[in-house]
Amino acid sequence: MAERSLTDRLFDDADREPIDPFDLFELWFAEAKATEINDPNAMALATVDEDGQPDLRMVLLNARDRRGFVFFTNFESAKGRQLLARPKAALLFHWKTLRRQVRIRGPVEVVADAEADAYFSGRPRVSQLASSASSQSRPLHSRAELLARVEALEARVGEGPVPRPPHWSGFRLRPQSIEFWKDGAHRLHDRVLFTGEPGGDTWTRQRLNP
């Protein structure tokens, strides 16, 4: 008999053997990369501002491991300032072709300088220049002003490496909860929530009403 997939086991109420949500995410992410036309690593990032108002935008998942889910940004951007002040966030992956979602919530931490340096150095040079020249989220008089700053920086560094700005780095969300959602007929969707301590290996699994 062929071994059942983690997805089959996830939605089988009779199967109570432990499932690792990180392994399950890897399975779903691999399937999304095979079916999504653009950016299977796109995710909505939710934060809270200084007035307690929620804020939301799309970003890209840049790295992941058992420690958590990593994205890079300008610390002086709106999301950067919000996360430094209130280091908690939520992520949402929506893979329309698969009719699936994954929701992740938990505290965030700044990645190590070595991780930020390694990612920045591997980016296309034009992206390095753009990240360095942009005062992200701040008012901009015109696009021409931004392009001029990029050209000025390019002229200044010449053929040398583009240094990573001190205000550009990454955040790692360390999951406390990971919810897997699968579309079902007549709105009878499947939802399973995993909860645990950030960095821990023990997860509680609970089916939820759709």
pLDDT digits (tens, 9 = 90+) for 46-98: 999 999 999 999 999 999 999 999 999 999 999 999 999 999 999 999 999 99
To the query of whether residue 187 is one of the catalytic residues in this protein, the response is: yes
Residue 92 in any domain: the answer is: yes
Residue 84 in any domain: the answer is: yes
Residue 46, domain CATH: 2.30.110.10
Residue 162 in any domain: the answer is: no
Phi, psi angle pair for 51, to nearest 5°: -95, 5
Residue 13 in any domain: the answer is: yes
Catalytic residue among 16, 143, 156, 187: 187
In whole angstroms, give the CA distance from residue 150 to residue 130: 6
Residue 77 in any domain: the answer is: yes
Mean pLDDT, the chain, rounded, equals 91
Q: Which of 100, 60, 80, 58 lies closest to 191, judged by CA?
A: 100
Over 80: is that where the pLDDT of 16 sits? yes
Q: Judge if pTM exceeds 0.75.
A: yes
pLDDT bracket for residue 39 (50, 70, 90)? very high
**Structure token digits, residue 176:** 């406390």
For residue 183, CA distances in Å to 22, 86, 100, 146, 170 come to: 20, 33, 6, 43, 32
Residue 140 in any domain: the answer is: no
In whole angstroms, give the CA distance from residue 147 to residue 133: 9
pLDDT tens track for 129-166: 877 777 766 777 788 877 777 777 677 777 778 888 88
Residue 14 in any domain: the answer is: yes
Over 50: is that where the pLDDT of 1 sits? no
> Residue 107's pLDDT is what?
98
Over 60: is that where the pLDDT of 2 sits? no
Q: Which of 29, 34, 26, 59 lies closest to 44, judged by CA?
A: 59
In the chain, the number of structural domains is 1
Q: Which domain holds residue 190?
A: 6-111+172-208
